[in-house]
Chain A
Amino acid sequence: MTAVTQAPPCRASAPGRLGRWGRALSRELTTVVITTFGLLLVTFFIARVVPIDPVLAVVGDRAPADVYEKARLALGLDKPLWHQFAIYVGKVFTGDLGTSVLTSQKVVDDIRTVFPATLELATLGTLIGVVIGVPLGILAAVNQGRWQDQIARVVGLIGYSVPVFWIGLMALLLFYAKLGWVAGPGRISVVWQDIVTTRTGVIMLDAALDGEWEAFWDAFSHLILPAAVLGLLSVAYVSRMTRSFMIGELQQQYVIAARVKGVSEAAVIWRHALRNAAVPLFTVIALSYMHLLEGSVLTETIFAWPGLGRYLTNALLNADMNAVLGGTLVVGVVFIGVNLLTDIIGRLADPRVR
């Protein structure tokens, strides 16, 4: 259910390939800049309109009036809105996202610690989505209209119909509380906290690099449940799209030709059709990955996962402006980046453009 952002169709006709590419690229870049600026603008004004007093996050509820006023001035809240915005944008361009009032750390540093956690979650989620979703989609496409297709369809639709936070709760109830198969909320057991050296920020990777295999499994045991919940969303999306791409490919002339030539059905599907469906499929997987990044807001809440989604929500509810802006900016930029990437790949792969 994702709208794939498409670049306006390329209308340039005659000029050389290089010129066309240059123009396309510059147009994309302008788009990126404008979109990013719009993103900043909207976020800034939302964050400012929210009727939550950001000073509260700095001084707490019981501060006397003079302390409160001092903090308000320190945040620059007495200046007009446009002025505050100008200051903010100016700083963003120098790479300074400001300081979070909640954590009293640089937003850049905060994001550096929370982003790997979300990345870890979304990566495994996508992996699950691909490993299950692609074969399921192919199965459905090959057996179009038969029971395999129906099953794939139902799985897909269920993935779209289940509230993430609810399935997360149910999964915790079953696999953690009742069966005890996996670890509970959080990213790693207390025993292992602070033992693994932080290198990449991805705990499993760090543990492996340290050779702390017990810590590695502990982290995995924490990760698998939230990742599986996200994976369910990904399976739904990936399997549906795989099915539709494969059906498209299987109707093509070259497939019929291959079949006539006596190429085995398995080879037709895996070697020919899937290879041709790979490019759009890659786009879909990239988008699915993106959506897991943002879809992790509720999952992270349920699983007490210290990732970007929770950071953003928390910041928002505390009117922690810099953190909200920084977090949204990161997600937005990733989104824009993925779109750009898929556009470029689409162009490279599209024979009409090539």
Chain B
Amino acid sequence: MSDTSSAGLHAWLISDSPTSRRQARLGQLYRQWLAFKRNPMAVAGLAIIVLLLLAAAFAPLIAPFDPLVQALDKRLLPPSAVNWFGTDALGRDIFSRIVHGTRITLVIVLLVVVTVGPFGLLVGAVSGYFGGWVDRLLMRITDVFLAFPRLVLALAFVAALGPGIVNAIIAIAITTWPPYARVARAETMVIRNQDYIEAMRLQGASRARIIWKHVVPMCMPSLIVRTTFDMAGIILTAAGLGFLGLGAQPPMPEWGAMISAGREQIFDQWWVATFPGIAICIVALGFNLLGDGLRDVMDAR
């Protein structure tokens, strides 16, 4: 997707009568992009996420210090030209830790989404397509998980599985899937009564094929929007677990754990807890802005 598109390409993309399936699909994407571009907040969100990705990719180049090396004689130094965000209780540079923390945040978010999206989609699509007792059973299970306080459930699972980043991811995933299933189910119920699905069925297409080839793709836009929004929620839940001491293992620079460590010094060395919190806010805001923009574009309802 280039901004320097020639007039010809532009015209080809927005053509009202596409001549190929590819042209139609690209054209739709392009139009969505144009709409997206007009929304300054969405673009700001995208910019934040791009920055996050860059920071994660080039963390060692950006961070002036090793995020793990301690210097006990340099502990709790206020922000300065050397340590932009000051140092923590073990003399580590907070800026460097935050930069490296982007990797942890990204890993958590991506892994949760990769597990939860497909699973929720499948449960929802199956439930919505088949209806009847399958639907009732699956939705009751979903209800049970929805009825839990989300953080308490995640907490319980982490406690059960043992602390650590992988288990935190699993725990968050377990608590995150039900809403996806619900969204997918609602979409499916609308789609399954459409004429073309009926036509497929009459042609003898298998249920699996119908679900996979036709129902699932139709659910995608709303799920993508939901996912983007949810990323912010996932970041916050992960940080909450880290804050309660059940997320990442020390000395990993996980932002929630960093805030928790700074709690001890909050009234004197404010910077220890403040900067990781700001980092979480910015990234969560980025995902939220992006999700907002995507919703306007992809899912006009």
Q: Do A and B come from one complex?
A: yes
Do A316 and B152 touch across chains, with their CB atoms under 8 A apart? yes
Chain A proximity mask over B272-300: 1 for CB below 8 Å, otherwise 0: 01101100111011011100100000000
Do A294 and B156 touch across chains, with their CB atoms under 8 A apart? no
Q: Point out the residue from B183, B239, B259, B287 that lies within 8 Å of A169, measured CB to CB.
A: B259
- A38 proximity list for chain B (CB < 8 A): 140-141, 143-144
Chain B proximity mask over A17-42: 1 for CB below 8 Å, otherwise 0: 00000000000000100110011001
CA of A324 to CA of B149 in the docked complex: distance in angstroms? 12
Do B135 and A8 touch across chains, with their CB atoms under 8 A apart? yes
Find residues 213-246 in chain B having any chain A CB closer than 8 Å to their own CB. Answer: 229-230, 232-233, 236, 239-240, 243-244
Q: Is A158 an interface residue (CB 8 A)?
A: yes
Q: Which of B139, B147, B240, B281 has the most CB of A within 10 A?
A: B147
Do B151 and A1 touch across chains, with their CB atoms under 8 A apart? no
Q: Which residue of B lies closest to A319 (CB)?
A: B159
Do A328 and B148 touch across chains, with their CB atoms under 8 A apart? yes
Q: Which one of B58-66, B85-93, B104-112, B263-271 contacts A? A: B263-271
Q: How large, as a class, is the contact surface on chain A?
A: 35 or more
Q: Point out the residue from A5, A173, A312 that lies within 8 Å of B149, measured CB to CB.
A: A312
Chain B: minimal CB distance from A60 (Å): 20
Do B233 and A297 touch across chains, with their CB atoms under 8 A apart? no
Do A316 and B156 touch across chains, with their CB atoms under 8 A apart? yes
Chain B proximity mask over A305-345: 1 for CB below 8 Å, otherwise 0: 00001001100110000001000100110011000000000
CA of A47 to CA of B155 in the docked complex: distance in angstroms? 11
Query: Quick one: given A52-B159, A163-B239, A163-B281, are A297 and B143 in contact (CB under 8 Å)?
Result: no
Chain A proximity mask over B75-103: 1 for CB below 8 Å, otherwise 0: 00000000000000000000000000000
CA of A167 to CA of B239 in the docked complex: distance in angstroms? 13
Do A3 and B178 touch across chains, with their CB atoms under 8 A apart? yes
CA of A42 to CA of B144 in the docked complex: distance in angstroms? 8
Query: Quick one: given A50-B156, A157-B289, A335-B146, are A166 and B140 in contact (CB under 8 Å)?
Result: no
Q: Which residue of B lies closest to A35 (CB)?
A: B143
Do B266 and A172 touch across chains, with their CB atoms under 8 A apart? yes
Find residues 253-309 in chain A having any chain B CB closer than 8 Å to their own CB. Answer: 293-295, 297-298, 301, 309
Do B182 and A35 touch across chains, with their CB atoms under 8 A apart? no
Do A50 and B292 touch across chains, with their CB atoms under 8 A apart? no
Interface size on B, residues (CB 8 A): 57
CA of A321 to CA of B20 in the docked complex: distance in angstroms? 62
Chain B: minimal CB distance from A311 (Å): 11
Do B244 and A161 touch across chains, with their CB atoms under 8 A apart? no
Q: Point out the residue from B152, B263, B266 that lies within 8 Å of A297, measured CB to CB.
A: B152
Do B277 and A163 touch across chains, with their CB atoms under 8 A apart? yes
Find residues 33-65 in chain A having any chain B CB closer than 8 Å to their own CB. Answer: 34-35, 38-39, 42-43, 46-47, 49-52
Do A34 and B140 touch across chains, with their CB atoms under 8 A apart? yes
- A34 proximity list for chain B (CB < 8 A): 140
Q: Which residue of B lies closest to A159 (CB)?
A: B288
CA of A193 to CA of B263 in the docked complex: distance in angstroms? 27
Q: Is B160 an interface residue (CB 8 A)?
A: yes
Q: Is A160 an interface residue (CB 8 A)?
A: yes
Do A160 and B232 touch across chains, with their CB atoms under 8 A apart? yes
Query: Quick one: given A31-B143, A51-B162, A166-B280, are A173 and B240 in contact (CB under 8 Å)?
Result: no
Query: Quick one: given A160-B284, A298-B243, are A31 and B162 in contact (CB under 8 Å)?
Result: no
**5 A-B pairs (CB sep. < 8 Å):** A38-B140, A160-B233, A161-B287, A294-B149, A316-B159
B residues near A, CB below 8 A? Answer: 41, 135-136, 139-141, 143-153, 155-157, 159-160, 162, 178-179, 182-183, 186, 189, 229-230, 232-233, 236, 239-240, 243-244, 256, 259, 263, 266-267, 270, 273-274, 276-277, 280-282, 284-285, 287-289, 292
Q: Given A50-B160, A172-B266, list of 8 further CB < 8 A pairs? A: A39-B144, A46-B153, A47-B156, A157-B288, A166-B239, A167-B277, A298-B244, A312-B149
Would you list the 4 A-B pairs with minimal beta carbon distance, nearest first?
A294-B149, A166-B277, A38-B144, A161-B284
